[in-house]
Structure 1
């Protein structure tokens, strides 16, 4: 609970700071709502979930998600994004059992036009990297597939969605093959102060096992400066709407800190 209080205090602190650069904060918030904006950022997204499965387990997942845009040509950007999970879980596989370590990483590269007026979009490859350090936290399969994102921004609103589909191509023959789709629709409203409110849904479909996992994640957020470091804070509950048999969580929460490096 101390983590919740600390992060909540930081978020409130971000809201009440009287910044002289509201326009700058608003522009940064707008770019952060866009997964393929030309902005270097390092989000640290922490998800803590409770009451999981038949053993009433818990899981903490810290997703380290650096985003780095690269100019490919006068009209084209490539936005690279890595999701590296650091996982600690209790009472998931059996009562009294604990697993911790790295999970498998997903690396994406979106090729996006620099000057898209009506609709911002990007498309490219997604790779599943089997770097998990515990047998329960890895597929032991290398996978690949397409990913696409599209969004519209108008009058403070950002609405869009991200999709990827990954199939395993090589790996441990004793492990099940991977055929998994991830769908993430999102909506965010940002005020000129840089504060925002929004939500996304995260739907993971395992085609091989015929299972679906669905989360709803509403958040409030704020952009501020800590010294010279531009930073965004966000926090909110996590609602597990669907999960495989005996794997559903009772409740959870999400806290995010994003370090920004404007060009």
Structure 2
């Protein structure tokens, strides 16, 4: 699959995200219930987040980076007991002074696509347990060698979480190994990602999030450990249910020439 295949996919997702939806009827879930569903990375609800992130201190010249990550989550019902949830992350990146004299770059980075086989949730003494496992694929869609590895990769992904009352806690993980380098300058791809998360959702659909998006590069033996704090609010705009998110991150650990200190994030999620 090449880059041109992804352009209509991204365009289609953007069109879906701005399409109007019907107003909720009396049997529709409340805003609180929808906010709790959004706290679950593999919930049975279509959502299309647009996540803007800003980081500084990259490269030898302390450059800047802005990333728009388009992250549609689409569930498919396979049976009464199982569903398939497809999560896709398509990053659009602008960066400046990150690669020294190369100046600024703008374009696509590599696309991560995860497929979770999700059994029906179980009720436990701790709360409602939901989990899913499956394959993950990293597509080499980067349009510039400085924006992505350009390496086709594959591996496994898993997520498990418990929800009780207003609380949601759990972790998402994956491990990706390169299976084909499309650029001779690309390094070996061998990376583990871990995202522990803790969310508290209130009765009026505010959510408070503490999480990390930790990764370890087994080829360079380097950690990336951002600590993220977000505040979310579910609301309705023009008949469309959306969730707004704002927050900050602190880079407690990053690789050489990686981001430093603090970054910011803003996200808008369209619900369907």
Is TM (by shorter chain) over 0.5? yes
Report the alpha carbon displacement of residue 51 of structure 1 after superposing the two structures with TM.
Answer: 2.8
1:173–1:105 distance in 2 versus 1, CA, 3 Å: closer
How far apart in 2 are the matches of 1:152 and 1:37? 12
**2:227–2:250 contact (8 Å) kept in structure 1:** yes
CA distance in 2 between counterparts of 1:91 and 1:51 reads 10
What's the counterpart of residue 201 of structure 2?
A: 190
CA contact (8 A) 1:23 1:192 kept: no
Q: CA deviation at 1:21?
A: 11
Superposed displacement of residue 54, structure 1: 3.0
Among candidates 216, 227, 232, match of residue 227 of structure 2: 216
- Does residue 237 (structure 1) correspond to residue 248 (structure 2)? The answer is yes
Structure 1 segment 121-140 matched on structure 2, within 5 A: 121-140=131-150
Residues 113, 246 of structure 1: alpha-carbon distance in 2 compared, 3 angstrom cutoff: same
Distance 2:138 2:190 in 1: 11
Aligned residue number for residue 192 of structure 2:
181
**Using the alignment, how far apart are the partners of 2:149 and 2:29 within structure 1?**
45
For the residue of structure 2 that corresponds to 1:137, the secondary structure is coil
Give 1:116 deviation, angstroms. Answer: 2.4
| Deviation readout 1:37-57 (Å, 9 max, x if unpaired) | 000000001101123343121
Q: Which residue does 1:98 correspond to in 2?
A: 104
CA distance in 2, matches of 1:180, 1:252: 23
Matched with 1:16 is none
2:120 is the counterpart of 1:109: no
> What TM-score, normalized by structure 2, do the two folds share?
0.85
C-alpha contact 1:184 1:203 (8 A) present in aligned 2:
yes
Distance (whole Å) between structure 2 residues aligned to residue 246 and residue 176 of structure 1: 16
Question: How far, CA to CA, are the matches of 1:115 and 1:153 in structure 2?
Answer: 10
TM-score (norm 1): 0.88
Equivalent residues of 1:52, 1:250 under 8 A apart: no
The one-character-per-residue Cα deviations of 1:179-238 (angstroms, maximum 9, x if unpaired) are 000000000000011111111101111101111111111001110100210000010111
1:171 aligns with 2:177: no
Q: Which runs of 4+ in 1 moved over 6 A?
A: 20-23
Equivalenced residue count is: 242
| Equivalent pair of 2:152/2:182 in contact (CA under 8 Å) | no
Is residue 70 of structure 1 aligned with residue 76 of structure 2?
yes
Q: Does 1:86 align with 2:92?
A: yes
Is 1:159 aligned to residue 169 of structure 2? yes
Structure 2, gaps ≥5 residues long: 1-25
Are 2:57 and 2:257, in contact at CA under 8 Å, matched by a contact in 1?
Answer: no
